[in-house]
Structure 1
Amino acid sequence: MSLVKPLITAFLAIISLQSIAQNKSLYSFQDLSHFYYKKQKDSLSKAWVCPALYSEKKTQKKYKEIWDDRTDFLTGAIDGDNFIHDGEVYDYVDGLITELVKANKQTIPEKPLLLIDRSSSVNAYALGKNVIVVNLGIVAFSQTKEELALVIAHELSHNIMSHPDNAMKQRAEWLTSDEYEKNLNAVLDSKYERLSRLKKVIETYSFSRSKHQRYHESEADSMAIVLLKKSNIAFNADYFLRLDSSDIIYQQHLKTPIKNYFTAYSLPFEDSWTKRRSKGLSTKAYSFKDTTGVEDSLKTHPDCVERYNKTKSLTASGAKYTSIPSGIHDKAQKMLIWNMYSNMSLTPCLFRILLEKDRGNTDEWYDFMLYNIITGLYFADREMHRFNAIGVVQKELTSKDYYELQTLLEQIPREQLEQYCKTLQGAGFWSHMPASEKAMKTLMSTLALDPDNSDKNKTRAAKEFTTGNETSMYCEFAQMFTK
């Protein structure tokens, strides 16, 4: 009996720690780029002065326009909170950059500025001027440190070889060239087939650029492998093939019928809500592609296959790979889901949550987000813009399950949505939610269910939230109603 009490105490301590870990805030409102990078943005604008490269005024003027467009893109993205500087995901990615730079000092004399883009797109990109951007989508998608390091090394290579800067020069030179002007004037002077002629002018430039881009990708891959080797980070060409599956997330199948995910919360459900009721071609029976074998799709993208074939002989044999910490994966996934919700793209947001549940994820934050999605949908319906909030994806790009979920969000009756909101408000998971999540619940209840639907009432509720939770990341959502 003397051992029972300590064991129970230890068990309760473990449960408590897990609960704290699950409910810890993802980031603070002050981590958003408009706040965090305010000083850097001002200094960046001053530092990014367009160099005088061309003696011809026309070319130099066009080059400066393109240069300034890049600066405006970056500063606009900072102001628009496209980037996030949280303590864990940022530090993990930045740590990989440090590792690569330290081992390649001659090639990378100065550590680049890293920006974490909140986009769910499985991508990263080099901006030139020693700046690289890594999307949350690629962090969530990559399985190992080595995979993510390859992506980073690839983007570092683009900057090392000045690909972004050279692309701007090429564009300025083409748009001010005699050939371009001659072709454009021929289009303007022609009486017939102007559109076809204009397309040929554009295609000439596009084809030339695409050839250079493919060459640049191959160059960046080769240099990336060198950077990895010097850093003692294993390279595996298989990742190029796996990247081909990155764009089919909404073509995946769920493990159980859509109905089961809702009845688990004691929510009433009718199968008819997932079936098109309107008439017309859009309701015609559609044969969805079988995407259960994700691996089969890995061989369909010629660029990925080409890159794989060129580099497969360089794959490190017998190498051991390091899994990306589950906490980093989880946080990246949550942050991109929250970003999708803030942008009111509700179907993809909810589908990702259901995929997490399929993986056995029991984190109650996802239950909290499901409540936000349902309440957000009811609010959008109340404001007469339900269709926009759903984030419709054409069915040719989705699985049957995704399409049914999208149809459900379109067709579920308003009174049922209201009942969903009220039922979820009393769900058991709220007892484990932190104060900021409970405050968000109150805000959403006011927006969606309060009989007083005036802007004044919404502003009052939003200001109450931001005043009491000024560091919460949910302030980003609340501020939309305080402006």
Structure 2
Amino acid sequence: MYRVNPLITFILTIISIPVVSQTKLLYSYQDLSHAYYQKQKDSLTKAWVCPAIYKDKNTQKKYKEIWDERTQFITRAIEADNYVHDNEVYSYVDGIINQLVQANKQIIPQKPLLLIDRSSSANAYAIGNNIIAVNLGLIVFSQSREELSLAIAHELSHNILTHPETAMKQRAEWLSSDEYQQSLNAVLNSKYERLSRLKKVLENYSFSRSKHQRYHESDADSLAIILLKKSNITFNADFFLRLDSSDNIYQHHLKNPVKQYFITYNLSFDDSWTRKRSKGLSTRAYSFRDTSGIEDSLKTHPECVERYNKTKPFTVSQGIYNAIPANIHDKANKMLIWNMYSNMSLTPCLYRILMEKDNGNKDEWYDFMIHNIITGLYYADRELHRFNAIGVTQKELISQDYYELQTMLEQIPRDKLEQYCKVIQEAGFWKIMPASERALKSFLYTLALDPDNSEKNKARAAKEFDVANSGSMYCELTQNFETK
């Protein structure tokens, strides 16, 4: 009798076992700011006591209100999980700060607290009191460590020059002034354009995660260049020109027709879904011309071209540039996309994924996210808030491809959307997905496709996921459905 070699049997057994994707979780649920920064949040609340700097009681009262508003801004942002402390991405950004601090100890005696903001906006911001935040969107947008360093040095400069504190004082003095009261009375007594005039009167410093604040920008640029030079980090004014287009990501075109991305997953597609069927001026034929001149959030800074011209003489010729490491860029991008999905901002989330597909990215995690988006959209439709989940963006800020995708998500019939969910739940990539992703698939099935649409059933599914995947970042989604 022929006997099979035991070693060969063992090897064949190993080969026959399905390969499971080694995709690691981007971060743990405990890395979200409500948990990770709990101690810092409590410390900030106690430590940020408004100083008494004005003799005038009204001015001091206004100053305290603005001071407390800043404290509430940062503590509420921490509670809302606007920040995340992922070791890999955090360490990379923190390494830049370390280099800047070590080379500029005289003007940065104490290392600032860094927060990684989950926003997709290509931005960073100074909060004051030696705290800065760097958005995931800026990390993804930056092409080199030097570009990212410039943005960080710029925000460090705002704190060094006490611009946030100065702005709060100026606002308190303005709001308590006779001139402000007279201006306000003039608006209230007027008959026309009250709202626009009132906005102009109230226009001043406010706390925001998405927009730059327009105060002392030239000073911050100048000091940032000095910080970079002392740190042996290359400065190139060309970054300001790139920054001018950072809000235009959704004006980029896709390499393939929108339908092609769905057909790849064996999902039927009707071209009519990409065309508005309603009538009216708002849906007439629109020419997606160049809209780069339209004012965007970055234009609250002085014009980027102006900043470029002012700083061009300080550009280091033949400087050294280091690309953002692929693992840092990829992880930041995934974290950004997951945050957009968690906030049910589905169209921009999906568009970014399709752009990754265009770049040749074959990571199955993006297939997993396409499943989540389709299922999330069907769930939103089931709950009668599909339109909010799509997040409609005005035509002037998007490409024709983006508009077609947005329109398709809005107009695909409910029965076809249900079919999409069922087909993609059986897609081939699930065979190699990790356990936590497959567990989330089960949870999303309960939300979107389970005949039992009761809150009790959803809470049960959420609890099951959380118990089996307590450290998973996906708990951020499931815990919204647990019975409180």
**Residue 282 of structure 1: CA displacement?**
2.6
Contact 2:163 2:215 in 1 (8 A): no
Please report the RMSD computed on the Cα atoms of aligned residues, expressed in angstroms: 2.5
Find the counterpart in structure 2 of residue 311 from structure 1. Answer: 311
Q: Which has the higher helix share?
A: 1
Find the counterpart in structure 2 of residue 423 from structure 1. Answer: 423
What is the TM-score normalised by the length of structure 2? 0.91
Find the counterpart in structure 1 of residue 200 from structure 2. Answer: 203
CA distance in 2 between counterparts of 1:461 and 1:205 reads 48
**Residue 479 of structure 1: CA displacement?**
0.7
Find the counterpart in structure 2 of residue 288 from structure 1. Answer: 288
CA distance in 1 between counterparts of 2:295 and 2:278 reads 33
Find the counterpart in structure 1 of residue 372 from structure 2. Answer: 372
CA distance in 1 between counterparts of 2:416 and 2:294 reads 40
**Residue 202 of structure 1: CA displacement?**
5.2
Contact 1:244 1:297 in 2 (8 A): no
Contact 1:245 1:297 in 2 (8 A): no
Question: 2:121 aligns to what SS in structure 1?
Answer: coil
Moved more, 281-290 or 51-60: 281-290
**Residue 245 of structure 1: CA displacement?**
1.3
Find the counterpart in structure 2 of residue 403 from structure 1. Answer: 403
CA distance in 1 between counterparts of 2:446 and 2:480 reads 14
CA distance in 1 between counterparts of 2:202 and 2:273 reads 48
Question: 2:87 aligns to what SS in structure 1?
Answer: coil
Question: 1:126 aligns to what SS in structure 2?
Answer: strand
Question: 1:53 aligns to what SS in structure 2?
Answer: coil
Find the counterpart in structure 1 of residue 96 from structure 2. Answer: 96
Contact 1:274 1:411 in 2 (8 A): yes
Deviations 1:415-454 (A, max 9, x none): 1111111111111111111110000000001110000011
Distance 1:296 1:323, change over 3 A: farther
Q: What letter corresponds to residue 132 of structure 2 in structure 1?
A: I
Contact 2:187 2:197 in 1 (8 A): no
| Structure 1 unmatched runs, 5+ | none
Matched, 1:193 2:191: yes
Find the counterpart in structure 2 of residue 37 from structure 1. Answer: 37
**Residue 203 of structure 1: CA displacement?**
3.1
Q: What letter corresponds to residue 329 of structure 1 in structure 2?
A: H
**Residue 395 of structure 1: CA displacement?**
1.7
Give matches, 1:77-116, under 5 Å: 77-116=77-116
Contact 1:155 1:220 in 2 (8 A): yes
**Matched residues, number:** 461
Give matches, 1:141-152, under 5 Å: 141-152=141-152
**Residue 206 of structure 1: CA displacement?**
3.8
| Structure 2 unmatched runs, 5+ | 1-7, 207-212
CA distance in 2 between counterparts of 1:159 and 1:408 reads 45
Distance 1:337 1:201, change over 3 A: closer
CA distance in 2 between counterparts of 1:427 and 1:16 reads 16
Give matches, 1:226-237, under 5 Å: 226-237=226-237
Displacement over 6 Å in runs of 4+ = 294-298
**Residue 290 of structure 1: CA displacement?**
4.8
**Residue 332 of structure 1: CA displacement?**
0.7
CA distance in 2 between counterparts of 1:194 and 1:55 reads 38
CA distance in 2 between counterparts of 1:296 and 1:385 reads 30
CA distance in 2 between counterparts of 1:117 and 1:448 reads 30
Q: What letter corresponds to residue 203 of structure 1 in structure 2?
A: K
Find the counterpart in structure 2 of residue 52 from structure 1. Answer: 52
**Residue 214 of structure 1: CA displacement?**
5.3
Give matches, 1:9-408, under 5 Å: 19-20=21-22, 23-188=23-188, 190=189, 192-193=190-191, 195-196=193-194, 200=197, 203=200, 206=203, 216-290=216-290, 303-408=303-408
**Residue 221 of structure 1: CA displacement?**
0.4
Deviations 1:395-422 (A, max 9, x none): 2221110000001101111111111111
Contact 1:245 1:295 in 2 (8 A): no
Q: What letter corresponds to residue 259 of structure 1 in structure 2?
A: K
Contact 2:155 2:220 in 1 (8 A): yes
Moved more, 275-284 or 368-377: 275-284
Distance 1:448 1:142, change over 3 A: same
Question: 2:247 aligns to what SS in structure 1?
Answer: coil
Q: What letter corresponds to residue 245 of structure 1 in structure 2?
A: S
Q: What letter corresponds to residue 401 of structure 1 in structure 2?
A: D
Find the counterpart in structure 1 of residue 474 from structure 2. Answer: 474
